[in-house]
Structures are given as C-alpha cells and as structure tokens.
Structure 1
C-alpha cells in the first residue's frame, strides 16, 4: 500500500505531481469517454478493488500481481492504444511505464483514475457487470479524492 498522503495537498494535479514522474502522458476522463477514443483499458488495482467497481470493458491486470508477459501475449501489437488506470493515477503510472519499456508506443495514464471517472458521473460496474454506485476507495486517506459514489474499503 502506498504511504499515507498529507492532507496539505490542495489539488489532484498537485497530488499527482508529488507521486508521479509524469513519464507517461495523461488522458482525461472526458477524452476517454468520447466515442471516438478507442483504447484497451487496463485496471492496475488489486482484484478486490476491481470486483467492487471498474470501468466497463476494463481488463484486470493488477498491481502487485501485474505480469507484463501476459499483457504482451494478449496485445502483441506495440502500437495498440492502451489506457491504464487505478484509483487516482499513481499505481497506473508504474504499470504504464513497464508497458512503455516493453515497447508499447501509445500508452496513457488516466488522470485521476476511477475516482475522477466517477466524480464526473461516468458509470462504473461491479463483478457481475452491473452498474453500481459502490467504489472501492483504496484507503481512508486516499478516499478524500472520491467525491461521488458510495465508498467501500474491503
């Protein structure tokens, strides 16, 4: 688990600048939601987070269990558009960096992750692929960035 964040962070941009190297370009939730945006969505959270809530069509790849070889086998075209997300965009940057090092050329990190997705009223789905208001909030400290939905911690 990531260390607790300080509550002095004023904006999501400031938070992400603190934790990320910005080595992977961001894509906004609004841009991702556009019908013209075609991309493979990879969920870089833990399985219990994914089962509570994920973006429709997202493929669970995990964080602590992430296997680059599995992704490479599933998506051999290195020009595939790939968007990686987690709760806010910190863990997803780590996974996206691995994809870039592997040679993928069109890899993006979802700015604000699933929290920002939900905060902008885009739908999320549970393990039964039914729309849900429940969002896995990762931790009490990080959950302050989730404004909409019902926070789940287990």
Structure 2
C-alpha cells in the first residue's frame, strides 16, 4: 500500500501539475509579434501611453485601468479607433485579462500602420496582482476585477473575482 501511495504521488507530481507560468501561457496562445510592456514599466510616471481595453464591456464596467478607452474584442471596430486616434506614432498599450485578446487587437492596429503598439504582459490581472489600482464604471477605485471565467481566474491572485 505504501508503494502505491508513493507511486501515485510521483505520477501526480510529474503529470498532474500542468500549471504553467504566465510566460508559458502567453507563449502558447500568442504569436508575440507585438512587444510586451510590463505592468511596472507602464506604471512609471514617465510612461505616457494611450490605454485600450480589449475586453468586453461587462468586464470593463467592473474594473479597468485609469483613463483606459474601451474598444472591446468581439465587436472591435478598427475604423472607430483609427478615427479617434489618427496619430499612428502615438504610444498605445492594449490590454485584456491576461494578454491574449489584446495581442489580436494590437496586431490589427499594427497592420494599419500604428508603430508604437504594445501588449500589456499579464493584462489587468497582472496589474492588479502588483497592487496597482483599477477603477469601476463610476471611475472610483475598486478591488473588483472581472475574472473572465473560472479557468482563467487562476491568474488573478489579488482582488475580488467577479464573473457576471
């Protein structure tokens, strides 16, 4: 019996622990044609960037980065963004929950000639995990963060997870 328990533990240790790092997760899902910017770099006072939130409106309403512009993902309208941001040399940081949807939106901007587009590494989850503030639909600081789904919520380590 003792050998069976040890064997079970070894098998679980080798095969059952499929928890990858955030870096590994992004490497699996992203093409990495858009450079990342870290949450620490974005939070620095000298970093002057236009923030685009590539999550759905219900996620944005729960919490978003200060002064972020909601552009969405499922209903993203590139023409609307181009009209509101005509300077293709502006520094733009696109974010979502962890950095997967935001890469898709950033790639569309890059294809249209935007030259300084970045993907926020780890998205709003990593932002909150590093104790940076997020804001609700009334522009008040909040601890609530839309966790996207139960599966993806494992990457959100701080704050109050909201799923609605």
TM range (shorter): over 0.9
Equivalent of 1:20 in 26, 30, 34: 30
Deviation at 1:39, TM superposition (A): 0.5
Residues 1-154 of structure 1 aligned to structure 2 (within 5 Å): 8-154=18-164
1:53-88 deviations in whole A, cap 9, x for unaligned?
000000000000100101100111110100000000
| CA distance, structure 1, for counterparts of residue 81 and residue 125 of structure 2 | 24
| CA distance, structure 2, for counterparts of residue 76 and residue 99 of structure 1 | 11
Deviation at 1:8, TM superposition (A): 1.6
Runs of 4+ in structure 1 deviating by more than 4 angstroms, as ranges, are none
Which one has the largest radius of gyration? 2
1:7-65 deviations in whole A, cap 9, x for unaligned?
72420000000000001000000000000000000000000000000000000000001
| RMSD between superposed Cα atoms in Å | 0.7
TM-score (norm 2): 0.89
Unmatched 5+ residue regions in structure 2?
1-16
Higher RCO structure (Cα 8 Å, ≥6 apart): 1
| CA distance, structure 1, for counterparts of residue 93 and residue 76 of structure 2 | 15
